[in-house]
Amino acid sequence: MKTNVVAHRDFRIATIDARLYSSFLEHLGRAIYGGIYEPGHPSADEDGFRRDVLDLVRELDTPYCRYPGGNFVSAYNWEDGVGPRSKRPVRLDLAWRTREANQIGVNEFVDWCKKANTKPMLAVNLGSRGLDAARNFLEYCNHPGGTYWSDLRRKHGWSNPHDVKLWCLGNEMDGPWQVGHKSAYEYGRVADETAKAMRGFDKSLELVVCGSSNSDMKTYPDWEAEVLDQCYDSADHISLHMYFANREKNTLNYLARATKLDRYITTIGGVIDYIKAKKRSKKTIGISFDEWNVWYHSNQQDKEILARDEWPDAPHLLEDVYNFEDVLQVGGILNTFIRRSDRVRIACIAQLVNVIAPIMTEDGGAAWRQTIYYPFYYASRYGRGTALQLVVDGPTYDSDEENDVPYLDVSAVHSEDGRSLTFFAVNRHPNTALDLDVRLEGFGNARVIEQVEMTHGDLEAVNTAARPGTVAPVNVDSAKIEDGRLRTGLKPLSYSVIRLSV
């Protein structure tokens, strides 16, 4: 089985926005408490942040981290999380039926971001609250001082403004499960007015409005058209979310679903262009794909936890243990974002620690890399620069849901300094190796720097605290360059990164 590819230096998709490799931390399960924050942990620093987790997060080099939700934000009072810890109220979180002691709030999160070498992307609550709470939150975070809210922040111990530039206006407001769920018109209106008030404070903010929670929503894609019709001028990005599952245990069907992600982006891209024309606007709204991942392994366990109806603190919710198969899926998702970097300017893996996350921890114990950590790591590290528009010619298959799905899922990124070229490749074929033959055009002399491969005899293999290295990349050297062609074999059901110097 063979696939021919042409990669030409001048045939570009877009300059990749580094924010494609952003992440997400919600007050949910053990993402915050027992995840990034565990004061009694052996590795905890002076602020109670786990150093072992910080190390793993820094390694991922994730430019922005979305916070504090997710569904959580839609009934969240940001004021609960500031001021002396002993006076912060304990709340019931209606989204995840959890007790929230508010020991971490915006100030601590911003501190953590600095340590994690990332930046905050903050969400305001447009569910149970609106414009007024949002503008106060913004002033609290970003004004230097001399006003009620900014002086309160200073009094709380943060004399410098946080200077948060990227804001989400609510979360999944199309979802009937959302506290204060809204119709597209209702949401578009409140988003527009909130956005204008926030810009009244600072014109230069980047504001993300809610698109669909997934492309199977009944309101999709009318939602996006109506919302943008209401707030095209005041918004910068529209948010999309999507999660992937392999409940029926059919690998080919599962891996084909990246195609659906691509179609989702295409559709909303079209909606953006339509409303842009209608508004006679010069600005093109971007896509912020600020929740994406595989999510299904923990569903049954979550059902049981929630059925206990006991309002626990930091329960083991959404703790998907990822297997090797998910490496291939996450690799395909990231390839899609790279290929659609013409539209997608921000993407946040959901989430970062413990909750459907690449990093897992034990309370009081170890932190380790889940299987999906690796494709995210490689994309974040080498997927910055210019996305190339490849010509791909190879065999395809029909899944139950999609036709003409290529066995080879591939993307290529020309680095910012122009000196390296990286291919990210997934061979979806269950039992046949794939001969990859890439014609390199316009790059001059190329040389293989490194070839990394992930494959495993057991699709269900996972990493655990006890065996954290079960699924891990290895270096191989099958790739050769000859006559301007890169040739290598890709094993069945494998994920590969091939880095060239050019």
Residue numbers annotated as active site? 172, 291
Q: What is the torsional sign of CA 269, 273, 278, 282? A: positive
| Residues in region 117-156 near its own copies by CB under 8 A | 128-129, 131-132, 135, 139, 143, 146-148, 151
Cα separation, 10 vs 24, in Å, equals 34
Of 197 and 452, CB closest to its own copies: 197
- Of 189, 279, 381, 487, the residue at the interface with its own copies (CB under 8 A) is 189
**Binding letters toward its own copies, positions 403-432, x by CB under 8 A:** ------------------------------
DSSP 17: P
| Measured torsion, CA atoms of residues 74, 79, 82, 84, in degrees rounded to the nearest 10 | -130
The Cα–Cα gap between 208 and 170 comes to 9
Q: Which stretch binds its own copies (CB under 8 A): 54-62, 112-120, 197-205, 213-221?
A: 197-205
Cis peptide before 300 (omega within 30 of 0): no
Which one of the spans 90-98, 243-251, 264-272, 465-473 is the region binding its own copies (CB under 8 A)?
90-98
For its own copies, give the closer residue by CB, 97 or 115: 97
User: In sequence order, which residues have a C-beta less than 8 Å from that of residue 132 and are 6 or more positions away?
Assistant: none
Please, what is the minimum distance in Å from the beta carbon of residue 227 to its own copies?
Answer: 15
Three-state SS at 28:
coil
Is residue 284 at the binding interface for its own copies, with CB under 8 A as the rule?
no
Asked whether position 27 contacts its own copies by CB under 8 A, the answer is no
String of DSSP letters for 60-110: HT-SEEEES-SGGGGG--GGGGSS-GGGPPPEEETTTTEEE---S-HHHHH
Helix (H) or strand (E) holding 190: helix 184-201
Give strand pairing partners of 392: 5
Structure token digits, residue 210: 């809610």
Residues 50-79 that bind its own copies (CB under 8 A): 75
Compute the distance between CA of residue 482 and CA of residue 500 in angstroms, rounded to an integer: 13
Least distance between its own copies and beta carbon 233 (Å): 9
Q: Does 159 bind its own copies (CB under 8 A)?
A: no
Query: How many C-beta neighbours within 10 Å does residue 269 have?
Result: 18
For its own copies, the closer CB: 12 or 97: 97
Beta bridge partners of 64: 119
Give the phi and the psi of residue 45 in degrees, each rounded to 5.
-90, -170
Candidates 2, 90, 163, 278: give the one binding its own copies (CB under 8 A).
Answer: 90
Nearer to its own copies, 74 or 370 (CB): 74
Helix axes of 222-231 and 184-201: crossing angle, nearest 10 degrees: 40
Using CB under 8 A as the binding rule, whether residue 163 contacts its own copies is answered as: no
Cβ proximity to its own copies: between 91 and 115 the closer is: 91
Nearest to its own copies of 11, 148 (CB atom)? 148
Q: Which two tokens stand for residue 448?
A: 């293989």
Q: From residue 292 to residue 331, what is the string marking binding to its own copies with x (rule CB under 8 A)?
A: -------------------x--------------------
**Token pair in block for residue 378:** 């490689």
Stretch that binds its own copies, among 61-69, 175-183, 352-360, 374-382 (CB under 8 A): 175-183
| Binding-site ranges for its own copies (CB under 8 A) | 75, 89-92, 94-95, 97, 99, 128-129, 131-132, 135, 139, 143, 146-148, 151, 176-177, 179-181, 183, 186, 189, 193, 196-197, 200-201, 311
